[in-house]
Structure 1
């Protein structure tokens, strides 16, 4: 039986010793639960530091041989001077046989919008797939991280939010797919390309800073990081 959980969006306090780039001041903690078919949004208004982590984790075995989970979260931070963003997808298949192989897929999409010049960004994006004594099992982990950097803070338009929700639903729909993991990966890549194109359009509408601000000269930037791991 496939298993999918409600996603959570959070801004989690960290110390300077744990993230290095963050100040020693305490960070605000915010956790927002949302329905599985909605896009969780979180924000961190005002200038400061923010740290958060998003995860998608699956563990398939003989009892639960077919597992799928995805995470799709948007963090709208406003103006900040330091950000720690962690996004991970971990898929494990363990103990299944060649005659009855496991299928384990974890996909995590993280979107971060932030404003300010010379923001200290500590970003981690990692996918990890592991087969533990599981010959012939299909195991796939994919992590997608999108960072939108602008001179002045902005919020995504209602239209963009609706489009992201539609992309999230299509990502959820991969839960019921019986396609090989190579096809699932192609579909996830296509959804990621749609997110990148949408964020590119939205960033162009962000207000510019002063004429001397670096981002005012170069314009907003949208960076996508992708990391996949696969085990067979």
Structure 2
């Protein structure tokens, strides 16, 4: 599901073994994030969450990737496993004429009857034609959401409930980012091709 919003409504990547982080080189920004969990008979409950903010600044283009991977392996129906991976990636970029975004999730039960396995990847991209940075107040609120995400992925609620809470949290993040963009003074545009600020959510669950 992809929803792009220009300050009006709802709007959210990483290869195997990637290390979370971001960098800007020669005008190109890169952001990578991944949450990965794996449950098995020796470790029947496993959880991982990422909530990362990347402020790329002014860039010509950006490649951003976010991924959540959850796997349950070899548990029995009598002693099932539970594996939950949730990754929230927030990226801000100014003047990016080209944006390559990837957001994926994968949840696998491998010979694991009755196991609960859930992966959710949520990618939030804020693109503006003028210089934009998150205020400390906005970052403080995002930190509150980060703590809520950590509590959610460790909860023992049914997977359907976890998914619903994750969606609700994502909607709150979008609303916060929309307000942050709307309330930022608009300076001169650094890229005349990108005339409107956008808040975009990419959501993939499995």
Give the shorter-chain TM-score range.
0.7 to 0.9
CA distance in 2, matches of 1:176, 1:56: 13
> Which one scores higher on RCO, CA 8 angstroms, separation ≥ 6?
2
- After superposition, residues 96-135 of structure 1 pair within 5 angstroms as 96-116=75-95, 119-135=97-113
So what's the TM-score if we normalise by structure 1?
A: 0.76
CA distance in 2, matches of 1:67, 1:175: 9
Name the Cα RMSD after superposition. 1.9
1:192 aligns to 2:170 (yes or no): yes
CA distance in 2, matches of 1:175, 1:122: 28
Deviation of 1:208 (Å): 4.4
CA distance in 1, matches of 2:164, 2:120: 11
Deviates more, 1:139-148 or 1:47-56: 47-56
Tell me the alpha carbon deviations over residues 135-183 of structure 1, each in whole angstroms, 9 at most, x when there is no partner.
1101000000011010112111111011000000111112441111111
Q: Which segments of 5 or more consecutive residues in structure 1 lack a partner in the other structure? A: 1-7, 13-26, 29-46
- Aligned to 1:57, the other structure's residue is in SS state strand
Deviation of 1:101 (Å): 0.6
So what's the TM-score if we normalise by structure 2?
A: 0.85
Deviation >3 Å, runs of 4+: 208-212
- After superposition, residues 16-35 of structure 1 pair within 5 angstroms as 28=25
- After superposition, residues 71-220 of structure 1 pair within 5 angstroms as 71-116=50-95, 119-206=97-184, 207-210=186-189, 213-216=192-195, 219-220=196-197
Q: Which segments of 5 or more consecutive residues in structure 2 lack a partner in the other structure? A: 1-18
